[in-house]
Amino acid sequence: MEARSALANLLTGALVAVVGLLVLGAVLGQPVLLSYVETGSMQPTLEPGEGFVAIPAAVAGPIEEGDVITYRAEEVQGGGLTTHRVVGETDEGYVTRGDANPFTDQDGDEPPVKDAQIVAKVLQVGGEVVVIPGLGIVVTGTQDVLRTVQATLASLLGTSALLGVQGLAYLIFAFTIVVYVVDALRNRGRRRRDRGHSRDTGTDVRLIVGAFAALLVVAATASMVAPAGTHEFGVVSAEFDSERPDIIPAGESKSRTYIVPNSGLIPVQVFLEPASEGIDVRPRETAVGSRDQVNATVTLSAPPETGYYRRFLVEYRYLAVLPVPVIQALYGVHPWTPIVVIDALLGGGFYLLGITLVGTGRVRSRTRPQRRSWSARLRRMLR
């Protein structure tokens, strides 16, 4: 019986993790280990609503012909995340096409895909995409519920701070704290009432505290990843000068202000990196205080040949819960390393604090008799 209960808990936790990753990826606007397709452009490889394992571009290795990638499109279906197969490569970037499409994306208005636009590579085993059926239906339904909750709470409280990705992070964090405190109080009461009962039944408190710690990690990750990412600047190399910042005389440069905001309550450490040729940024690193902003200067260069060119800038941001030298050292290892360490610090600290306060027992539920008079039920409620 114990093994069956543990298996049920494991399966439930796995399902919650899958749904959480999908929802988080949809909220952040980029896949987080799992994602799904919405259209039939990749049929028969991926049907609409089918999911796949998304390997982050930072760790996926070099992109090769035949790989299926998720990239930030400019023109395909109005722009946004697109999952298509790489069918060629040019000096300007990758050529992509949906398996169901007779023409490449670049035969239309979509420019060749740059490395900076690629957010993930789809997992393939033996050249075949690993397909997870039905995941799109789950994440779409969950997304709709979350948006409804956000809009309702924002309307009731009269604030827009609860909307969007940052608002969702606030709600997850607040929900985690409230449920955690309520559960801790209830669990203390149960321990006092059930001291004489067996400790081998019920739900392990460590599992509950671990679930709350995971929610906290999700909220922290969202607050670091969502406002960051790759930013694109369009440049027109022209034979004339203009007051417009995106029109630059051929072979010359122009500078513009790049605002780095922080709408959260916790200060952040931000790193800015050029992700293509023809762009520079100063400063490369800055600290942004609570509900503050910092101005950086982006310098865009136009090549000698006239035409339209794209420049990319990548922004990384981290909650300043570690000393700045530590964040800098971790960032030097890999841009994802500070996120992993900060999540481990917050999640692990929350878990250890919870175990210290609540203990490591089990939350037991009592079965009530099926037949109880209304007077007995009333006396029980009054007690």
pLDDT at 225 over 50: yes
pLDDT at 360 over 50: yes
Q: Band of the pLDDT at 361, cuts 50, 70, 90?
A: low
Same domain, 6 and 117: yes
198 φψ region: left (φ > 0), alpha (ψ -120 to 50), beta (else): beta
Domain contains 329 = no
Number of domains, the chain: 3
Q: What CATH number does the domain containing 60 carry? A: 2.10.109.10
Interstrand relation of 307-319 and 268-274 (parallel, antiparallel or unpaired): antiparallel
Same domain, 131 and 7: yes
Domain contains 334 = no
Same domain, 62 and 46: yes
pLDDT at 45 over 90: yes
Same domain, 213 and 240: no
Q: What is the DSSP letter of 32?
A: B
Q: Give the orientation angle of helix 324-333 with respect to helix 337-358, to 10 degrees.
A: 120
Same domain, 12 and 117: yes
Same domain, 191 and 169: yes
Query: What ranges in the chain are assigned the alpha helix state H?
Result: 2-28, 57-60, 135-157, 164-193, 205-225, 324-333, 337-358, 374-382
Interstrand relation of 247-249 and 229-238 (parallel, antiparallel or unpaired): parallel
Which residue range(s) make up the domain with 182? Answer: 144-224+344-363
Same domain, 246 and 351: no
* CB atoms near residue 172 (< 10 Å): 22
Average pLDDT estimate for 287-315: 93
Domain contains 328 = no
pLDDT at 10 over 60: no
Q: What is the pLDDT of residues 233-251, one digit of tens each?
A: 999 999 998 889 899 999 9
Domain contains 333 = no
Same domain, 98 and 149: no
Domain contains 269 = yes
DSSP 341-369: HHHHHHHHHHHHHHHHHH-S-EE--PPPP
Q: What is the pLDDT of residues 270-300, one digit of tens each?
A: 999 998 899 999 999 999 998 899 999 999 9
Average pLDDT estimate for 192-204: 51
Q: What is the pLDDT of residues 14-35, one digit of tens each?
A: 555 555 555 555 555 556 577 8
Domain termination residue (choose one: 117, 135, 153) = 135
The two most distant CA atoms of the chain are separated, in Å, by 91
Same domain, 156 and 126: no
Name the percent of the chain lying above pLDDT 90: 36
Under a CB-based contact definition with an 8 Å cutoff, are residues 307 and 111 in contact?
no
pLDDT at 377 over 80: no
* CB atoms near residue 381 (< 10 Å): 7
Domain contains 369 = no
When mean pLDDT is compared across 32-41, 83-92, 118-127, the lowest value belongs to 32-41
Distance CA 49, CA 307 (A): 39
Same domain, 79 and 55: yes
When mean pLDDT is compared across 162-166, 170-174, 311-315, 361-365, the lowest value belongs to 361-365
Average pLDDT estimate for 216-233: 81
When mean pLDDT is compared across 90-104, 209-223, 232-246, the lowest value belongs to 209-223
The residues that bridge with 271 in the sheet, in sequence order, are 285, 316
Q: What CATH number does the domain containing 270 carry? A: 2.60.40.10
Distance CA 158, CA 82 (A): 36
The token duo for 17 is 């993790």
Q: pTM for the complete prediction?
A: 0.64
